[in-house]
Structure 1
């Protein structure tokens, strides 16, 4: 780890006299990033991260900064790091410190910098991001970069209602943004359907095998040419001849009238489901499909 960062003691060990350090700071050759910690030129975001670690060796980069280092979020304006509870420091405006004691299982490295694990990163980000941003991050990350079991293990040591809700409602297999939002709206009602599931030679956007119901979200860009129009009709006829009920919604209506669309699906699927088979199916789908396996 370098990134052009030196502490005062390191510069002195390299033979730079104290007066020269101060003079170079006045002339802008060195930039004082943190107390007794300097950048050998204008500091980059990675340089600021390295400076934090040099200033507070027990720190671990976390939250949105860790998400950036794991290539999950854009470069942040504010560097975030977690320090032990016993550490108390006044941070500059570009740095936010969280005081808590992390277990060894939460520690990792990225870009040769000490950082929390992807699972801890996801847990932390859900606590600080706006809800819609947290939803998108979880849907992109859970089961791919961070395993559900690792996140759940972190939840066991906390109340973590926001993260537990994310584990229940995550939409992990949606192809489009309307499908992702629709999957989450279904999950909020505990109405779990199989996303992007095969039925014969076709794939339905959302499938309920127990009631032989398929829900399709039609985006104009994918259904605007003649060939697609004809294929949709042949597909619909094939499914109906075999006893499947197909509910179709325009993506525009899903995005602008979500609850009305979900109401319609619920009014069809709930009455058609019955008995103990329902709980078995919903538990399986909710656990293995929406919540995501490792």
Structure 2
């Protein structure tokens, strides 16, 4: 399960490599062509891009590859997937370095680099680890416009979860994109984005319900015990009907986690919650099963009174 908290922590774990150098710079520093070739063949020099080298025992990471991509593009900034990683909401993976350039500007066509030309002028770049990045709201909306719907909402939720953007900033930014491809879908997703979700599958499960007209489920709904303490949180909870929709990922397969889940389930059932569990197979291959299960539960609990212990936590 890809937790949004892991994405939010990633920028603090990115290592800074040595500054990339052009082939000509290495020659000017006194290395011969043979010495460059010898070091490259033995892993002393690494080539993150054509004609660019980084010295060190390890292959260059994100920082070094991003610097190498920017070397010949001083007017470009990091955007899309790469900037999302640096802002702390990189929940959609990409092996390439993504650059954002104005339409009409020269842009690289090299292996490992994806260049996005845009007619929408970027705001002054944000410096993250000395790398120029598009601002977080721009990155989030760019991805929301261009990714499939099921991948786009997790980006927005993760950006809110990480504190990289606010809902108001997203609304302002999506307005700046009027007329661009995908902006209508992005505007719809911004309206339902919620920073309380904790992982991609929780967001996707909520999106499935919202698209079916079911909007009563609250992400990470707290459930309190008789003393008023938060005993647990539900992935998605309908506090009026007391129905929970939980995603069971691979983290739930250990014996210790199974014991904890059983204890949690029994306690919630005793409090009156109807627990419904779904897996990746349900979410990605049988979404109609999820909708049928939730619809049946809603019908059976149509007149359920809200649980007092969670009503104070409603948005």
Instruction: Give the TM-score, by structure 2 length.
Output: 0.63
Q: How do 1:13-92 residues align onto structure 2 when only pairs under 5 Å count?
A: 16=29, 22=33, 24-28=35-39, 38-41=52-55, 44=60, 45-73=62-90, 76-92=94-110
Question: Is 2:49–2:112's contact at 8 Å kept on the other side of the alignment?
Answer: no
**Any idea what SS the aligned residue of 2:18 has?**
coil
Would you say 1:214 and 2:228 are equivalent positions? Answer: no
Q: How do 1:187-226 residues align onto structure 2 when only pairs under 5 Å count?
A: 187-188=210-211, 189=213, 191-195=215-219, 196-197=221-222, 201=228, 205=234, 206-208=237-239, 212-217=240-245, 221=258, 222-225=260-263
Label 1:176 to 1:111 Cα distance change in 2 as closer, same or farther (>3 A): closer
Question: Is 2:48–2:54's contact at 8 Å kept on the other side of the alignment?
Answer: no
In structure 1, list runs of 5 or more residues that go unmatched: 237-245, 274-284, 290-294
Could you tell me which residue of structure 2 aligns to residue 292 of structure 1?
Answer: none
Label 1:151 to 1:228 Cα distance change in 2 as closer, same or farther (>3 A): closer
Instruction: After TM superposition, give the deviation of residue 197 of structure 1 in Å.
Output: 5.0
Would you say 1:154 and 2:182 are equivalent positions? Answer: no
**Any idea what SS the aligned residue of 2:65 has?**
helix
Question: Is 1:63–1:124's contact at 8 Å kept on the other side of the alignment?
Answer: yes
Higher mean alpha-carbon deviation, 67-76 vs 52-61, is at 67-76
Instruction: After TM superposition, give the deviation of residue 224 of structure 1 in Å.
Output: 2.1
Instruction: After TM superposition, give the deviation of residue 132 of structure 1 in Å.
Output: 3.5
Label 1:171 to 1:186 Cα distance change in 2 as closer, same or farther (>3 A): farther
Instruction: After TM superposition, give the deviation of residue 88 of structure 1 in Å.
Output: 2.3
Q: How do 1:134-149 residues align onto structure 2 when only pairs under 5 Å count?
A: 134-143=152-161, 144-149=163-168
Label 1:6 to 1:228 Cα distance change in 2 as closer, same or farther (>3 A): closer
**Any idea what SS the aligned residue of 1:217 has?**
strand
1:93 to 84, 98, 111: 111
RMSD over equivalenced CA pairs, Å: 4.1
Once residues 198 and 163 of structure 1 are traced to their aligned partners in structure 2, the CA distance between those partners, rounded to angstroms, is: 32
Could you tell me which residue of structure 1 aligns to residue 296 of structure 2?
Answer: 264
In structure 2, list runs of 5 or more residues that go unmatched: 1-15, 253-257, 305-312
Once residues 34 and 181 of structure 1 are traced to their aligned partners in structure 2, the CA distance between those partners, rounded to angstroms, is: 36
Question: Is 2:154–2:204's contact at 8 Å kept on the other side of the alignment?
Answer: no
Question: Is 1:79–1:94's contact at 8 Å kept on the other side of the alignment?
Answer: yes
Question: Is 1:109–1:115's contact at 8 Å kept on the other side of the alignment?
Answer: yes
Label 1:228 to 1:213 Cα distance change in 2 as closer, same or farther (>3 A): closer
Question: Is 1:204–1:214's contact at 8 Å kept on the other side of the alignment?
Answer: no
Label 1:76 to 1:207 Cα distance change in 2 as closer, same or farther (>3 A): closer
